[in-house]
Chain A
């Protein structure tokens, strides 16, 4: 009796923070370490013709995206940065006083990133079939 009174059994809502923060942290790593090279390829080397990039030819690009390591690379470069960005934007909206109902903000930002992740997985799957 006594112990149950000293420890009230309260149900706290579980925080989403551990899950979204680990995705945010992983995404931050990808943005800092992998995206500079990716942007240099898609933004400078390919369009400005700095160097030949046979990997961007249709057949090799397809082969790259069909291999398990290539599709993993694409997945990591799109999905983790998307969750990273969603987390920053979710908190950034609050900083800018652009507040909405929490369920709505969660749905828009983390839901949006999840949608992007599903779309990436879907198109990677399509490429294999």
Chain B
């Protein structure tokens, strides 16, 4: 890179391809990519739901039980079904990426992608079962 190149006047006028706003509908790969990115919307909304629970807990017992009751509203159940789908889809794509980002080599042996994939799914299963078990057993 040359010095002061930002002061040079240029007359280049490159052709700029006009991409449609709907480019991601052109093929399946693009669409799945954008669905993966869109899982973030549901994640963010779920963060806000958790925060609202924290706020109502700080407001006292009545507010807390109101929040708990609001969770059984059909809209809330439907919303959290979408969140669960989004979170699981995120996990599917995240686990697939991990062996490509982080290749594990021990000596001359390279860990096969499939083994890492199985390990992550097993980890998720064990962790989910442990957390659910802990939540149910706590104080029981």
Contacts and interface: CB of A to CB of B under 8 A. Distances in A.
B47 interface: yes
B91 A31 contact: yes
Given A38-B50, A41-B135, A92 B40 contact: yes
Interface in B13-68: 19, 21, 24, 34, 37-41, 43-44, 46-51, 53-55, 57-58, 61, 64-65, 68
A106 interface: no
Nearest to A125: B58
A43 B75 CA distance: 11
Contacts of B71: 42-43, 46-47
Interface string A30-55: 01111111111111111110011111
Contact of B84 (A40, A78, A89, A124): A40
Interface residues of B, number: 55
B35 to A, nearest CB: 11
13 contacts: A8-B3, A31-B90, A32-B94, A33-B91, A35-B43, A39-B87, A43-B83, A47-B72, A53-B136, A60-B139, A61-B64, A92-B40, A97-B21
Contacts of B38: 92
B47 A82 contact: yes
A85 B136 contact: no
Main DSSP-derived SS at the B contact region: helix
Interface of A: 8, 10, 28-29, 31-48, 51-58, 60-62, 64-65, 74, 77-78, 81-82, 84-89, 91-92, 95-97, 116, 119-120, 123-124, 126-127
Contacts of B131: 34, 37-38, 41
A51 B136 contact: yes
Is chain A's binding surface mostly helix, strand, loop or mixed? helix
A37 B120 CA distance: 15
A41 B132 contact: yes
Residue among B39, B44, B127, B136 with most chain A CB within 10 A? B44
Given A45-B136, A86-B40, A96-B21, 8 more contacts: A29-B94, A31-B94, A33-B124, A37-B132, A58-B64, A78-B50, A116-B47, A126-B58
5 cross-chain pairs, A with B, having the tightest CB-CB distances, nearest first: A43-B80, A47-B72, A88-B40, A54-B139, A37-B131
